[in-house]
Amino acid sequence: MIKQVVIKNVRNVCRQLLIVISLLAGAFLVAVFIKSIGFPVVNAAVVYVLSVLLVARFTRGYFYGILASVLCMANYNFFFTQPYYSFNVYDKSDIITITVMLIASILTSTLTSTNTGKLLHASKLAEDRESQTNILYQITSSLAKASGVSDVAAVSVQCLSNLLDTDVLCIMSAEQNSSRSLFQARRGDRRIQISEVGNGQIEEYSSGKKVIPIGDPSNQYGVICIPVTASQKSREREKLVPAIIMQIQSAMDREKFSEEKKIVKIEMEHEKFRGNLLRAISHDLRTPLAGISGTAEVLMSNLKNEKDRDLAEGIFEETNWLTQMVENILSLTQIEDGHLVLRKQPEAIEEIVGEAVKHARKIAGQRKIILDIPEDVLLVSMDGKLILQVLINLIDNAIKHTQTDGIVQIKVYTDKNHVWFSITDNGSGIKAGDLPYLFDSFFVAQEAKGSSRSGIGLGLSIVRAIVQAHGGRVFAENDKGGGAVFRFYLPVKEIDSDER
Amino acid sequence: MENRQTVLIVEDETGISGFIKAILAANNYDVLITDKGATGISMAASYCPDIILLDMGLPDIDGMDVLKNIRQWSRIPIIIVSARGHEREKVEALDAGADDYLTKPFGTAELLVRIRTALRHSHDAVQSKTLPDEKFQVGTLKIDYEKRLVHVDGEEIHLTPIEYKILVILSRNAGKVLTHDYIMKEIWGPFEKDNQALRVNMANIRRKIEDNPAQPKYILTEVAVGYRMVEQI
């Protein structure tokens, strides 16, 4: 290698010297010609200055220019000043000529070679920059085509390997305890090796290499390992590596975000599918259920045998319970999918609460229902049917959790901007541990599990969804007296402003 | 002795039409069944049933279209049957001329009451085009239309003119559900869109005639649909 460089240098020097010699020879011949046809010898000196200029133009560095100047002057002195063929000078004016010529030619040659050098340097710089831009462009465009973080990693090692003409490794960060992926590009090989490595092997791969991380410490995608090289060219190109790493990082960012987006989208579609399925099933169940309950009711009145009548009644009651559940599922899926359109209009609170109480009395048995609502007419903007459902669910819940002689109290009161509804029972109350989950879908209190008609825990989540859709909130707590209190409020402001 | 009355059931679910038929047959009605809206229209024309039970969700044409079609040429009472949660549909059907509605699942008693009420109203309309009743009574509520007097428990009740008008409309249609829009149109004309006035008047009427306005026994609330005055207590 070194030998090659030396040979190259020697060759270079020889070529430059050859230029010097041939130009000087040319100048000498022209000078001889000028002298022979009888022009003054001073013209020959001018020709020599020209030759020095040419030498400086076609060679690199000051050395050859100065060398040419000295040689020229020596030559001129030797051949064209008296005494001829000697370095002595008789005429004083010749000394001035030679000295001035020498200074002039040295100055010219240095100036020329400086300019030439600058020009050459600038054009080389431009070339370098162009090639760097090209490389960056190629890498950017191939990174842009990559899809997926691991694809980006593969493209990255390939590009870096091509650029630096060496082996490049990329070790990705571990994702959720799985082993790390290793991307390996060998010099001169277009294929990328992908393998899995354990955490322990990282040292083994990265030792003795330059390790460059991709990404911030908080969000690191992996590291790139490049062998420490000595080659001039690759060292030049290594200056590009930080820029390329930035490109790789942003490509990985992009791919990571798009992957995350895709996952979210898929999850949303699953959720939607689940909701649709549930809704379709519930919808299809409700009609046959209506048929069954109706038929059972007919049987109840038609059958003569009392045992048969009891059986029919059993069917009737179970079907009604099932119907209730199917309706709950339907309501919830509609609310959750945003299919629910609130048909808000001013409703008199007493009408809605009155209907809820009417329903409560039907299922209350021996339980006492106490109603406490304001004397004044209270109009609140709401979807009456849905708020009725809220009240019915809360009352059902209260009745379910009280003894047969229990008391359920329904109270309506107002504060400045809200109308409050509270449903209080004197049952066993709510376990402290259950309170946070009470309104979650499919939550059933521990002690209620196992009883055949515990429901599937949708009633209260429907309550919350409907109340929230109205811009209200619902609260559950234990009463001082021991029972449970469910309270919710609805905003009331818009009604008063435009009343007649 | 009355003739047996004919009920036409337009319903695509055989489970439901089956048990309705069983109930009606046991209560001395003749029953016709079809599962298509188009057939329903032609059967209504050819058999002239006394009442039609119309399901809103039919496989061939929309129940609403069947209703509108029949209403173009006939006053046969029509009771629509619809699923829970379709309040808008019910109101539209009532405003398009349906006489009443049933929400699935419904019980035997409810079905028979609705049919009887609808039949009687159509009967009244045919029989006494000239003079409506002069008096109305349900429970202890008495309305004397001629003297414009209202009594509850023998005590005279003072109503504003609008309250009185509302009470008259409801009592003339006792047993039937009247939509908010219908009542508002009757009282305030076709351009009143805000139903707050109706709510407030109704609340005041109830405070005057009901023992407990939150648990009315004379004028029932049909949430999101309208009001219904009871025929008997």
Which residues, at least 6 apart from A5, have a Cβ–Cβ distance to it below 8 Å? none
What is the C-alpha separation between B21 and A296, in angstroms, rounded? Answer: 13
Structure tokens at B107: 């019980």
Which residues, at least 6 apart from A346, have a Cβ–Cβ distance to it below 8 Å? A379, A380, A381, A495, B195, B196, B199
Residues A104 and A184 in one domain: no
Residues A77 and A158 in one domain: no
| A431 near B CB under 8 A | no
Query: What is the phi/psi pair of residue A172, to 5°?
Result: -80, 155
Query: How far separated are the first and last CA of chain A, in Å rounded?
Result: 101
Q: Which residue in B has a C-alpha nearest to residue A334's C-alpha?
A: B85
Q: Which residue in A has a C-alpha nearest to residue B85's C-alpha?
A: A385
Q: Comparing B10 with A247, which gets the higher pLDDT?
A: B10
Closest partner residue to B214 (CB to CB) among A330, A371, A500 is A371
Please, are residues A346 and A334 in contact by the beta-carbon 8 Å criterion?
A: no
- Listed by number, the residues of chain B in 65-94 with a beta carbon closer than 8 Å to a beta carbon of chain A are 83-85, 87-88
Instruction: Chain A: give the shortest CA distance to residue B12, in Å.
Output: 10
Output b/e per residue, B78-113; b: 16+ Cβ within 10 A: bbbbbbbbbbebbbbbbeeebbbbbbbbbebeebee
Residues A155 and A218 in one domain: yes
CB contact under 8 A, A346 and B199: yes
Helix axes B108-127, B14-26, angle to 10 degrees: 70
> For residue B209, what pLDDT is reported?
92
> For residue A495, what pLDDT is reported?
47
Instruction: Chain A: give the shortest CA distance to residue B15, in Å.
Output: 5
A:B CB pairs within 8 Å: 114
> For residue B121, what pLDDT is reported?
82
Residues A390 and A448 in one domain: yes
What is the C-alpha separation between A125 and A133, in angstroms, rounded? Answer: 12
Residues A117 and A31 in one domain: yes
Q: Which residue in A has a C-alpha nearest to residue B199's C-alpha?
A: A348
- Show the low-confidence residues of chain A (pLDDT under 50): 450, 452, 495-500
Residues A107 and A165 in one domain: no
Residues A376 and A462 in one domain: yes
Architecture of domain B135-229: Orthogonal Bundle (1.10)
Residues A122 and A149 in one domain: no
- What mean pLDDT is reported for chain B? 88
CB contact under 8 A, A295 and B22: yes
Find the largest Cα–Cα distance for chain B.
55
* Secondary structure of A71-106 as H, E, C letters: HHHHHHHHHHCCCCCCCCCCCHHHHHHHHHHHHHHH
pLDDT tens, residue by residue, B128-176:
555 567 788 898 999 999 889 999 998 999 999 999 999 999 998 888 8
> For residue A498, what pLDDT is reported?
43
Identify whether A267 is part of a domain: no
What is the C-alpha separation between B55 and B69, in angstroms, rounded? Answer: 15
CB contact under 8 A, B196 and A351: no
What is the C-alpha separation between B14 and A139, in angstroms, rounded? Answer: 70
Instruction: Chain A: give the shortest CA distance to residue B214, in Å.
Output: 5
What is the C-alpha separation between A277 and A268, in angstroms, rounded? Answer: 14
What is the C-alpha separation between A274 and A326, in angstroms, rounded? Answer: 15
Last residue of a domain, one of A209, A227, A254: A254
CB contact under 8 A, A350 and B104: no
Identify whether A277 is part of a domain: no
Identify whether A394 is part of a domain: yes
Enumerate the residues of chain B whose CB falls inside 8 A of the CB of residue A409.
none
pLDDT tens, residue by residue, B96-129:
999 999 988 888 888 999 999 888 887 776 665 5
Provide the pairing of β-strand B155-157 with B149-152: antiparallel
Output b/e per residue, B118-133; b: 16+ Cβ within 10 A: bbebbeeeeeeeeeee
| B108 near A CB under 8 A | yes
Asked if CATH classification 3.40.50.150 holds for the domain at B6-129, the reply, yes or no, is no
Q: Report the SS3 class of residue A378.
A: coil
Number of Cβ within 10 Å of residue A184's Cβ equals 20
Enumerate the residues of chain A whose CB falls inside 8 A of the CB of residue B14.
291
Instruction: Chain B: give the shortest CA distance to residue A268, in Å.
Output: 26
| A171 near B CB under 8 A | no
CB contact under 8 A, A297 and B108: yes
Which residues, at least 6 apart from A190, have a Cβ–Cβ distance to it below 8 Å? A158
Instruction: Chain A: give the shortest CA distance to residue B155, in Å.
Output: 22
| B23 near A CB under 8 A | yes
Q: Is A395 exposed, middle or buried, given 0-12, 13-18 or 19+ CB atoms closer than 10 A?
A: buried
Residues A102 and A231 in one domain: no
Instruction: Chain A: give the shortest CA distance to residue B137, in Å.
Output: 23
> For residue B208, what pLDDT is reported?
92
Answer whether residue B16 shows pLDDT above 90: no
Identify whether A226 is part of a domain: yes
CB contact under 8 A, B105 and A377: no
Closest partner residue to B216 (CB to CB) among A289, A354, A500 is A354
Identify whether A262 is part of a domain: no
Identify whether A336 is part of a domain: no
What is the number of structural domains in chain A? 3
Helix axes B196-209, A349-364, angle to 10 degrees: 50
When computed from its CA atoms, the radius of gyration of chain A, rounded to whole angstroms, is: 49
pLDDT tens, residue by residue, B192-219:
777 788 999 999 999 999 988 888 999 9
Q: CATH number, domain at A198?
A: 3.30.450.40
Number of Cβ within 10 Å of residue A304's Cβ equals 6
Tell me the residue type at A462.
I
CB contact under 8 A, A385 and B223: yes
Enumerate the residues of chain B whose CB falls inside 8 A of the CB of residue A500.
196-197
Identify whether A324 is part of a domain: no
Residues A124 and A149 in one domain: no
Q: How many distinct helices (H) and strands (E) make up chain B?
A: 8, 12
Output b/e per residue, A410-449; b: 16+ Cβ within 10 A: bbbeeeeebbbbbbbbbbbbbeeebeeebbeeeebbeeee
Q: CATH number, domain at A471?
A: 3.30.565.10
CB contact under 8 A, B214 and A297: no
Q: Does the ipTM exceed 0.90?
A: no
What is the C-alpha separation between B109 and A240, in angstroms, rounded? Answer: 88
Instruction: Chain B: give the shortest CA distance to residue A378, in Å.
Output: 9
Instruction: Chain B: give the shortest CA distance to residue A339, in Å.
Output: 12
pLDDT tens, residue by residue, A161-176:
887 778 888 888 776 6
Please, are residues A222 and A153 in contact by the beta-carbon 8 Å criterion?
A: yes
Last residue of a domain, one of A254, A279, A297: A254
Please, are residues B233 and B138 in contact by the beta-carbon 8 Å criterion?
A: yes
CB contact under 8 A, A301 and B26: yes
Residues A91 and A171 in one domain: no
Mutate to test the interface with B, among A322, A326, A351 (most CBs of B within 10 A): A351
What is the C-alpha separation between B80 and B82, in angstroms, rounded? Answer: 6
| A371 near B CB under 8 A | yes
What is the C-alpha separation between A140 and A159, in angstroms, rounded? Answer: 10
DSSP B120-136: HHHHHHHH-SS---SEE
* Secondary structure of B26-48 as H, E, C letters: HCCEEEEEECCHHHHHHHHHHHC
Answer whether residue B1 shows pLDDT above 60: no
Q: How many distinct helices (H) and strands (E) make up chain A?
A: 13, 12
Identify whether A159 is part of a domain: yes
When computed from its CA atoms, the radius of gyration of chain B, rounded to whole angstroms, is: 19
Q: Is the peptide bond before A436 cis (omega within 30 degrees of 0)?
A: no
Residue A426 belongs to what domain range? 341-491
Residue-range domain boundaries for chain B: 6-129, 135-229
CB contact under 8 A, B199 and A383: no
* CA quadruple A160, A162, A165, A171: dihedral sign: positive
- Listed by number, the residues of chain A in 294-333 with a beta carbon closer than 8 Å to a beta carbon of chain B are 294-295, 297-298, 301-302, 319-320, 323, 327, 330-331
